[in-house]
């Protein structure tokens, strides 16, 4: 279709076009943020189809989130019409989970295997440790889980690990690792790492399976290649070995997942690994203003290890990058909230145009509070997600059991929840019996009559539970009842709903509603998906990434960690919490490599912004239940100060933010551009204060002198006066301004409230 072909190429610059039309052989597109890498990849796939070089089934594309995958699928369809179905576009994890469902039987996994998340894995590890009398207080199951996961990421198997293990902790891990692997296998379960490792095992043991997929996927694409780990590297290599058409896209300066096993050398060594590779660099940034790019450049310049890249833009210079200094995390949140509302009300920006990014999930709380107070709609991505809530995990565990009764972690979760007379002792006996006879826990449940250590009451309780699960499992197997209906009946029969209704607390009501919500999600899934089963639904849920939970379309401010922000873009971005110890994190400041990763994370954050960028920090913050006193992040000292201006805060509600006179203004005030300042304070003539920096502003105000005339009734209110306000309490007048009805005062009410600009006519200040 030459017309489609042309359309696809029209939306690209020359370099991108080269990337799209270089279809044969290994290709690496390496370029900075916002340069259209993802767009080039998407257009490349569309081009392959439109030019008749490939059929949809010949194409594999791997992305970082399911959301990105869906977008890619949709855009390709939009570019070529409807004939893009049949491609494999997904995350590494979901694509290889799918492959294992089809081929896993060859390495001993039935197609109904469960996928264990970190919590499930930890549960299994704890149990293995207990069974070996290893003290879980000395070495925590969580650390064992992490260490096993790292080993798996580096493709070190239990045997190799045992040979390499040094020191007590590693010796313990060496003992638990093989036991954990056996337990997973017995439960017909795979953890996240296995989803990448088992396909490799499969391909190595079964040449023919590898050949089948190597032959099928003529074109392999990977976005965000800088964050691939060892296993992902091997998979990409194996799958593209036949046709050699591997196209990877990435930016080494945006590599932020080393802590999870990502290996930056994958992208750095691409040229060596694929000697005949074509490298394409994109240099034009379409996303951000010039000022934002200048700031970003100045950040990444500080890092030593990186591929040389240049980035330019035709976009406008744009606003200065705003620096907001706050007294506390509450004050910071309020400043952000005011900025959001200000831009919303005055500049007509939609709430969906804003993103607030932070280093740690805990930071969202204060920001949420500030937004909620002013009824600003928002969504939080990641954190304790819906699917991690206890009540949701309980229901999911029941559903998992139906699909895979050997799933021990799920079985343990619900065997006595709600309470049904199968207590710890009974469970321990079942467990022992299972171990003695090399059975899964469920297989022991199935033979409950043969277990002599159990009393009749326990036996009866276990038998009843077994019948419940078996009945629903067989219903699920025949597919005679729609999945959502089946789930609804099951949680009713299992007593989950009445358990949640037992006590009429608000929490229980909320839980009950969450469970209903889950059923709705399942119903919607069944409705919208071909061949939907409980099993496919569970897989989708298990492999959700942080970003995937964001519902599209609604007009809300997005709150998320910097990590979750990768690949996204927003007109207005706030990067909050730029303090030493928080960003960069304390732990990361010791090693150069880790500090550079933090800096890349900062770089990723600021390059999400299209038009406006705000950087903020707070002098004090509650962390780990303690008030900490902070200094500004070293990152703020490093950035190009020519494009940064200290921000005076929102003008809504006649408030301004000033640092208290005692603390003095921040250094940035001295560099303040009067023009910028005037513009920023437009509307009410500018605030005044007692510092030099602020005086300068006054003089741009046409007023001339510092003495301001104001309504006689307020005569006692002078700079320095102690006053009391009904709502804000006691404060100190910082400055005065305006005449008559327009007279205002800036009053500092202590670090929690900060400075307020008040109209004297309404403020009812009392001099004390
Ligand atoms: P990141 O490194 O952050 O993932 P990226 O290099 O993948 O960024 P894209 O997300 O593909 O960049 O593109 C950034 C923005 O620029 C998008 O809004 C995209 O639509 C736009 N864009 C890219 N190329 C062009 C082009 N040739 N013409 C117009 N807009 C473009
Ligand atoms: Mg991208």
Q: What is the DSSP string of 93-131?
A: HHHHHHHHHHHGGGGT--TT-EEE-HHHHHHHHHHHHHH
Residue of 112, 224, 319, 394 marked catalytic: 224
Residues contacting ligand 1 via CB (< 6 Å): 11-13, 16, 31, 33-39, 251, 254, 286-287, 567, 569
Strand partners, 550: none
The pLDDT value given to residue 118: 87
For ligand 1, atom 27: residue with the closest CA = 12
For ligand 1, atom 25: residue with the closest CA = 36
Dihedral of CA atoms 440, 445, 449, 452 in degrees, nearest 10, equals: 60
Q: Where are the beta strands (DSSP E) in 198-313?
A: 219-222, 246-250, 278-282
Q: Cβ(444)–Cβ(437) under 8 Å?
A: yes
Give the ligand with the smallest distance to the CA of 37: 1
Count CB atoms within 10 A of the CB of residue 553.
7
193 is catalytic: no
590 is catalytic: no
CA–centroid distance, residue 411 to ligand 1 (Å): 46
* Token pair of 179 as six digits: 């036991």
Question: Over the stretch 277-304, which tens digit does the pLDDT of each residue have?
Answer: 999 999 999 999 999 999 999 999 999 8
425 is catalytic: no
Closest atom of ligand 1 to CA, residue 604: 3
**Three-state SS across 665-718?**
CCHHHHHCCHHHHHHHCCCCCCCCCCCHHHHHHHHCCCCCCCCCCCCHHHCCCC
The pLDDT value given to residue 202: 97
Is 479 annotated among the ligand-binding residues?
A: no
Element (DSSP H or E) covering residue 462: helix 456-478
Count CB atoms within 10 A of the CB of residue 15.
18
Mutate to test the pocket of ligand 1, among 29, 30, 38 (most ligand atoms within 8 A of CB): 38
The pLDDT value given to residue 755: 75
CA–centroid distance, residue 36 to ligand 2 (Å): 7
Is 32 annotated among the ligand-binding residues?
A: yes
Using 50 as the pLDDT threshold, list the residues of the chain that sit under it: 649-713
For ligand 1, atom 26: residue with the closest CA = 12
224 is catalytic: yes
The pLDDT value given to residue 553: 65
The pLDDT value given to residue 289: 97
254 is catalytic: yes
The pLDDT value given to residue 746: 81
Nearest Cα residue to 288 out of 520, 610, 668, 581 = 610
């Amino acid at each position: 279709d030459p017309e489609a072909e042309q359309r696809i190429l029209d939306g690209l610059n020359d370099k991108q076009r080269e990337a799209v039309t270089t279809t044969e052989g290994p290709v690496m597109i390496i370029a900075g943020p916002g340069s259209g890498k993802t767009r080039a990849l998407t257009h490349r796939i569309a081009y392959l189809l439109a030019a008749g070089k490939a059929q949809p089934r010949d194409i594999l594309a791997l992305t970082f989130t399911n959301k990105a995958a869906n977008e890619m699928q949709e855009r390709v369809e939009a570019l070529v019409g409807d004939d893009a179905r049949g491609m494999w576009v997904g995350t590494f994890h979901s694509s290889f989970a799918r492959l294992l469902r089809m081929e896993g039987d060859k390495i001993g996994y039935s197609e109904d295997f469960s996928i264990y998340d970190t919590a499930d894995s930890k549960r299994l590890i704890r149990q293995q440790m207990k069974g070996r009398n290893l003290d879980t207080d000395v070495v925590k199951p969580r650390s064992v889980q992490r260490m096993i996961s790292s080993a798996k990421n580096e493709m070190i198997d239990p045997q190799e690990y045992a040979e390499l293990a040094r020191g007590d902790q590693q010796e313990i891990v060496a003992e638990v690792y093989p036991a954990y692997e056996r337990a997973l296998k017995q439960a017909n379960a795979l953890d996240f790492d296995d989803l990448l490792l088992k396909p490799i095992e499969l391909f190595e043991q079964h040449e023919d399976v590898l050949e089948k997929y190597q032959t099928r996927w003529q074109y392999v694409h990977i976005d965000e290649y800088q964050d691939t780990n060892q296993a992902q590297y091997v998979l990409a290599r194996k799958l593209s070995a036949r046709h050699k058409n591997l196209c990877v896209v990435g930016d080494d300066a945006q590599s932020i997942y080393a802590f999870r096993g990502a290996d930056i050398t994958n992208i750095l060594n691409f040229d060596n690994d694929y000697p005949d590779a074509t490298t394409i660099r994109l240099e034009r940034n379409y996303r951000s203003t010039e000022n934002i790019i200048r700031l970003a450049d100045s950040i990444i310049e500080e890092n030593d290890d990186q591929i040389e890249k240049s980035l330019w833009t035709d976009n406008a210079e744009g606003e200065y990058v705003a620096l907001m200094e706050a007294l506390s995390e509450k004050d910071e949140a309020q400043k952000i909230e005011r900025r959001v509302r200000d831009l919303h009300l005055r500049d007509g920006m939609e709430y969906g145009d804003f993103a607030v990014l932070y280093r740690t999930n805990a930071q969202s709380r204060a920001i949420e509070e500030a937004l909620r107070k002013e009824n600003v709609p928002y969504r939080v991505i990641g954190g304790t997600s819906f699917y991690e809530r206890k009540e949701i995990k309980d229901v999911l565990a029941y559903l998992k059991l139906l699909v895979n009764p050997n799933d021990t972690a799920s079985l343990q979760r619900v065997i006595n929840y709600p309470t049904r007379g199968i207590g710890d002792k009974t469970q321990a006996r079942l467990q022992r019996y299972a171990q003695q006879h090399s059975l899964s826990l469920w297989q022991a449940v199935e033979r409950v009559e043969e277990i002599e250590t159990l009393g009749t009451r326990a036996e009866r309780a276990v038998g009843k539970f077994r019948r419940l699960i078996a009945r629903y499992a067989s219903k699920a197997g025949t597919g005679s009842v729609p999945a959502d209906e089946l789930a609804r009946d099951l949680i009713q029969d299992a007593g989950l709903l009445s358990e949640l209704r037992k006590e009429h607390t608000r929490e229980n009501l909320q839980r009950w509603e969450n469970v209903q919500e889950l059923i709705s999600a399942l119903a919607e899934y069944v409705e919208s998906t071909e061949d939907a089963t409980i099993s496919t639904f569970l897989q989708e849920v298990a492999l959700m990434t942080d970003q995937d939970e964001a519902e599209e379309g609604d007009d809300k401010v997005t709150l998320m960690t910097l990590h979750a922000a990768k690949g996204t873009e927003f007109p207005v971005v706030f990067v909050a919490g730029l303090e030493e110890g928080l960003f960069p994190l304390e732990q990361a400041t010791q090693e150069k490599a880790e500090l550079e990763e933090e800096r890349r994370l900062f770089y990723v954050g600021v390059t999400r912004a299209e038009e406006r960028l705000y950087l903020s920090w707070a002098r004090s913050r509650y962390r780990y239940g303690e008030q900490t006193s902070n200094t500004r992040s070293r990152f703020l000292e490093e950035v190009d100060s020519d494009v940064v201006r200290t921000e005076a805060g929102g003008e809504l509600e006649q408030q301004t933010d000033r640092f208290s006179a005692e603390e003095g203004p921040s250094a940035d005030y001295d560099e303040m551009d009067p023009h910028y300042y005037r513009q920023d304070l437009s509307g009410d003539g500018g605030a005044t204060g007692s510092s030099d920096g602020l005086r300068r502003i006054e003089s741009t105000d046409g007023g001339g002198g510092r003495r301001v005339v104001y309504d006689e009734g307020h005569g006692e209110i002078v700079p320095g006066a102690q006053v009391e306000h009904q709502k804000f309490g006691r404060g100190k007048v910082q400055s005065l301004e305006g005449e008559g009805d327009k007279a205002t005062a800036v009053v500092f009410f202590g670090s929690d409230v900060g400075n307020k600009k008040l109209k004297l006519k309404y403020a009812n200040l009392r001099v004390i």
